[in-house]
């Protein structure tokens, strides 16, 4: 979410600086960010180096892109770091160890086995005594 807002605002700033931004630039940027992040947001510090080749065509534009990125994103980097730290704290709190749920089937099976053993032994004992007496 932060990355999307950042890149949209950065593109607006680049347009103001005289960079040409077309649909092709947007598509390349989205494909690059998805490939680099692997489904997660890419750190803002890495965006500078990933996005520059898409927008800058020569060394002068590269320097201009880096300056624009640094000016505009320096505050965003610190905000993202703070938000990521907050997320880690929240994540740690939400991942409290869950109490282990006791599986019922071993206890039920053990109970059935005990009942069967008692039943068989009582039946065997009763039948054995009847055979001796009769």
pLDDT by 10-residue block (mean), the chain, 134 residues: 69 86 87 72 75 90 88 65 60 57 80 94 83 68
pTM of the model: 0.51
Query: What total number of domains does the chain contain?
Result: 2
In a domain, 100, yes or no: no
pLDDT of residue 1: 46
Residues for the chain: how many in total?
A: 134
Q: Output the CA angle 116-119-122, nearest 5 degrees.
A: 145
Shared domain for 50 and 87, answered yes or no, is yes
Shared domain for 24 and 76, answered yes or no, is yes
Shared domain for 90 and 112, answered yes or no, is no
Give the residue ranges of DSSP H helices in the chain.
2-16, 23-37, 44-55, 59-94, 104-133
> CB of 76 within 8 A of CB of 44?
yes
Shared domain for 81 and 115, answered yes or no, is no
What is the span of the domain harbouring residue 121?
105-134
In a domain, 16, yes or no: yes
**Is 100 strand, coil or helix?**
coil
pLDDT of residue 10: 80
> CB of 33 within 8 A of CB of 39?
no
In a domain, 61, yes or no: yes
Shared domain for 87 and 112, answered yes or no, is no
Q: Output the CA angle 118-122-124, nearest 5 degrees.
A: 115
Shared domain for 58 and 116, answered yes or no, is no
Shared domain for 14 and 74, answered yes or no, is yes
């Amino acid at each position: 979410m932060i990355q999307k807002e950042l890149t949209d605002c950065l593109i607006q700033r680049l347009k103001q600086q005289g960079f040409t931004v077309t649909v092709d630039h947007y598509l390349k940027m989205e494909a690059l960010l998805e490939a680099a992040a692997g489904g997660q947001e890419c750190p803002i510090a890495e965006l500078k180096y990933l996005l520059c080749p898409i927008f800058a065509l020569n060394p002068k534009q590269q320097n201009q892109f880096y300056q624009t990125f640094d000016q505009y994103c320096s505050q965003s980097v610190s905000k993202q770091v703070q938000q990521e730290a907050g997320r880690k704290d929240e994540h740690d709190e939400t991942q409290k160890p869950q109490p282990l749920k006791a599986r019922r089937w071993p206890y039920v099976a053990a109970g059935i086995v005990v009942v069967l053993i008692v039943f068989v032994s009582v039946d065997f004992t009763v039948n054995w005594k009847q055979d001796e007496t009769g």
